[in-house]
């Protein structure tokens, strides 16, 4: 979801009455060549109606992987590749960017151990802990209301958080 508007500034003209909305600015734009990296701003125009709190929250956990990442981190600190193992389909690039966003949003803490080989751990901040009920609500609903058949061998861990299979990883 969520693209930027083409001309956020021009927009002020015709929307004076909700111009006071959050106008978070790009904070980290490498913009190498023509591949603008990390132009973080999900949707700038939160319509300031009562529902916008819902929107605001959703922005923070959208992004195709955020939800799952947060969910997995709820079980404890994880290293980069440990997270990757839990998300078989994610690419490094995606994992990195998603983690960076979560970091910037104050949800995860990134700890780099100055070693060789490098070791980076991701853990949750207290702020994210407050999100836990939300994540769990999402999961609960998904468990109850979605029917997507899945091979048991890798998808059957709905009760024990991580089964013994997780013994020797990492």
Partner DNA sequence: CAGGATCCGTCGGGATACTG
Partner DNA sequence: CAGTATCCCGACGGATCCTG
**Under rule CB under 7 A, which residues in 134-153 are in contact with DNA?**
none
From 48-56, 77-85, 123-131, 145-153, give the range in contact with DNA by CB under 7 A. Answer: 77-85
3 binds DNA (CB under 7 A): yes
Q: Which residues of 114-142 are buried (b: 16+ CB within 10 A; e: fewer)?
A: eeeeeeebbebeeebeebeeebeeeeeee
Nearest to 103 by CA among 70, 54, 58, 131: 70
User: What is d(CA 139, CA 146) in angstroms, rounded to the nearest whole number?
Assistant: 10
One of 81, 125, 134, 166 touching DNA (CB under 7 A): 81
Token couple for 159? 């009760």
Instruction: Pick one of its own copies, DNA, none as the site partner of residue 21 (Cβ within 5 to 8 A by kind).
Output: its own copies
One of 28, 31, 39, 49 touching its own copies (CB under 8 A): 49
Binding site for its own copies (CB under 8 A): 1-2, 15, 17-22, 43, 45-58, 61-64, 67-72, 86-90, 127, 130-131, 133-135, 137-146, 148-151, 153-155, 157-158, 161-162
């Amino acid at each position: 979801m969520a693209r930027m508007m083409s001309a956020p500034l021009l927009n002020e003209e015709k929307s004076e009455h909700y111009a006071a909305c959050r106008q978070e600015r790009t904070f980290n734009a490498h913009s190498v060549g023509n591949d603008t990296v990390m132009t973080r701003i999900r949707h700038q125009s939160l319509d300031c109606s009562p529902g916008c709190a819902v929107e605001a929250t959703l922005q923070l956990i959208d992004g195709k992987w955020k939800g799952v990442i947060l969910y997995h981190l709820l079980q404890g600190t994880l290293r980069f590749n440990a997270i990757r193992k839990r998300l078989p389909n994610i690419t490094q690039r995606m994992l990195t960017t998603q983690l960076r966003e979560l970091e910037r949003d104050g949800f995860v803490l990134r700890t780099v151990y100055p070693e060789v080989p490098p070791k980076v751990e991701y853990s949750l901040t207290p702020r994210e802990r407050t999100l836990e009920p939300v994540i769990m609500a999402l999961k609960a609903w998904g468990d109850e209301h979605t029917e997507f058949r899945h091979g048991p061998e890798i998808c059957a861990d709905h009760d024990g958080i991580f089964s013994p299979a997780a013994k020797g990883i990492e």
